[in-house]
A and B are shown apart, each in its own frame.
Chain A
Amino acid sequence: MDDDKTFKALGDPTRRKLLDLLCEKNGQTLGQLCEHLDMKRQSVTQHIGLLEEANLVSTVKRGREKHHFLNPVPLQMVYERWIRKFEQQRLALLHDLKTELEGEQDGQ
């Protein structure tokens, strides 16, 4: 269930930009984030809402200000599920190839 939300949240350039902005400087307020984006505050709020729903951004209230933090845990889950598996396959192929070629060199 979680992966769908993660991928959907990532499928938009503004939301990816927001994640990049938080990666650069964690804990920014809405106002700070808006400075880097050429769109209405209200639209930015909506994008952040989707990122929060996907658990890619978490917020902490400090006084009257709300600070936004990048939460990469769902990305790590996606990495474990969708990326590492294929990396391992590729490594296995390289390993097979190496074994095969080195076997030939041994002049069997």
Chain B
Amino acid sequence: MGNEKTTFVYVTYIRASAEKIFEAITRPEIAARYWGHENVSDWKPGSRWEHIRADAARDVKLAGDVVESDPPKRLVITWAGASEYDNPDAHSRVTFDLVPYDDMVRLTVTHDELEAGSGMAAGISKGWPLVLSSLKSYLETDEGIDVFAEPCATDAAA
């Protein structure tokens, strides 16, 4: 028990350049606007990244390592609850792939190496659709959605 891994694959087509989408993921001041959190790192392979709630308290919710960064095409990071960062077994993996597609970019988020049935798996499966839908709205209409709206808000992936 506890060893079975699971994978989620999320895809969204966004009318924006790959550069803008990559920036929206990696630049804290942009992520704060549609994600309610900032992703903070120097984004060099081997560096740590932190997922920080963009409010006065600035809680670090998640942390992980940058595995691969090839802007604006691909970003691979590991992903763990901030308090579990020191436990390698707690790290799952998130891959962002950006591929130009007509006048859009196909953004694929693959979240794998996740422990099946874990709280993290449940959290991210609610969180990613919300975050990606908000990212799309933000980049296409300049309006993100409220990622903390009930009943879908989760701290795990939001």
**Bound-state Cα–Cα, A74 to B145, Å:** 14
**Bound-state Cα–Cα, A72 to B137, Å:** 15
- Contact between chains at B133 and A71 (CB < 8 Å): no
Of the residues B6, B108, B133, B149, contact of A26 by C-beta under 8 Å = B6
Nearest CB of B to A47, in Å:
18
Q: What number of A-B contacts does a CB cutoff of 8 Å give?
A: 45
Q: Across the interface, which residues of B come within 8 angstroms of A77, CB to CB?
A: 133, 136-137
A 14-68 contacts with B by CB, 8 A: 26-27, 55, 58, 60
Q: A26-B6, A80-B137 are in contact. List 16 more A-B contacts (CB 8 A).
A: A26-B7, A26-B8, A27-B7, A55-B11, A55-B12, A58-B9, A58-B10, A60-B7, A60-B9, A69-B8, A73-B10, A73-B128, A76-B132, A77-B136, A77-B137, A84-B149
Nearest CB of B to A106, in Å:
29
Nearest CB of B to A30, in Å:
16
Quick check: is A10 within 8 A (CB to CB) of the other chain? no
- Contact between chains at B9 and A73 (CB < 8 Å): no
**Bound-state Cα–Cα, A77 to B134, Å:** 9
**Bound-state Cα–Cα, A89 to B114, Å:** 38
The interface size of chain A toward B, counting residues with CB under 8 Å, comes to: 16
- Contact between chains at A73 and B145 (CB < 8 Å): no
Q: Across the interface, which residues of B come within 8 angstroms of A72, CB to CB?
A: 10, 129
Of the residues A2, A71, A74, A75, contact of B9 by C-beta under 8 Å = A71
- Contact between chains at A58 and B108 (CB < 8 Å): yes
- Residues of B whose CB lies within 8 Å of any CB of A are 6-13, 108, 110, 128-130, 132-133, 136-137, 145, 149
**Bound-state Cα–Cα, A31 to B128, Å:** 28
- Residues of A whose CB lies within 8 Å of any CB of B are 2, 26-27, 55, 58, 60, 69, 71-77, 80, 84
- Contact between chains at B13 and A55 (CB < 8 Å): yes
Which chain B residue lies CB-closest to A88?
B149
Q: Across the interface, which residues of A come within 8 angstroms of B133, CB to CB?
A: 73, 76-77, 80
- Contact between chains at B7 and A69 (CB < 8 Å): yes
Which chain A residue lies CB-closest to B136?
A77
Q: Across the interface, which residues of A come within 8 angstroms of B108, CB to CB?
A: 58
Nearest CB of A to B122, in Å:
12
Nearest CB of B to A79, in Å:
8
Nearest CB of B to A23, in Å:
9
**Bound-state Cα–Cα, A60 to B110, Å:** 10
**Bound-state Cα–Cα, A75 to B130, Å:** 10
With most chain A CB atoms within 10 A of its CB, the pick from B13, B108, B129, B132 is B129
